[in-house]
Amino acid sequence: MPSMATRKVLMVLFDGFNTMDMNGPYEIFRMSGNRDVFTVTVAAETEITTSFEGVHIKRDVALSQTLIQSLCDVDILVVPGGPTELVERQASNAGGFMKLIATFNELPPRAGRLPRILLSICTGAIFLGRMGIFLGRQCTTHWGAYKNLEKTNMNAAMGHGVAGEVIPARYVDSGLNEYGTRIISSGGVSCGMDASLYVVKLHGGEGMACATAEKLDYKWRESEGIVVAP
């Protein structure tokens, strides 16, 4: 089992995010081990971010240039989704939200540390697709957004390579990118919990992941995830 230095998880929010896309992974990471294995920080461009369901979330840190410049300390970046029209609108905004994801994706590896993980939840995959992160890779999203992500991947691939392939799965681990970051995408909404438990397994072992699922009275659908590359 990997050594259990505290892992830093960063979640980035935008107005219209899906509440469970955030809360599911948040609960998984905070309840793993003795609740000190993962620290979870919520970042947003505004002090209060409102979910699609109307829940108001107060950020821990501002999504600013200062945060972007300190991403080297982050182990896991979680990108939730929301209704496709709101995700598409956010993806078209060339602000700090998209810059943070792009910067994290391209961070160099760290000696003696597990690879960083970029984890999209549900339609959050569209953000990654827009930036070409899925080029030549398999990925997934909410079943109702397969065509949206396919189109996004094809547009990103024009003149740049092979479009990412969208496949049905609870989650897809497509392995390390050229910068050494592990790219994982989850299916819709509750699939984010399965993907997060898989991340717990990568960092703390199968036993910790199973214990976390049991603690939350959740049936982990591990076998319905796809690991394309180790």
pLDDT, residue 94, reads: 84
Give the separation between CA 205 and CA 226, rounded to whole angstroms.
17
Give the separation between CA 150 and CA 209, rounded to whole angstroms.
31
Give the separation between CA 212 and CA 209, rounded to whole angstroms.
5
Nearest to 195 by CA among 25, 9, 10: 25
Low pLDDT (below 50) residues in the chain: 1-2
pLDDT, residue 4, reads: 64
pLDDT, residue 70, reads: 95
| CA distances, 191 to each of 76, 119, 136 (Å) | 17, 12, 23
Q: What is the DSSP string of 13-54?
A: --TT--HHHHHHHHHHHHTSTTTTSEEEEEEESSSEEE-TTS
Tally of residues, the chain: 230
Residues 6+ apart with CB under 8 A from 151: none
pLDDT, residue 35, reads: 77
pLDDT, residue 77, reads: 99
pLDDT, residue 34, reads: 83
Give the separation between CA 156 and CA 87, rounded to whole angstroms.
16
Assigned token pair, 89: 């609108």
**Which residue ranges form the domains of the chain, and what is each CATH number?**
7-227 (3.40.50.880)
pLDDT, residue 39, reads: 96
Give the separation between CA 202 and CA 44, rounded to whole angstroms.
27
Q: What is the DSSP string of 88-140?
A: HHHHT--SHHHHHHHHHHTPPP-TTSPPPEEEE-GGGHHHHHHTTTTTTSEE-
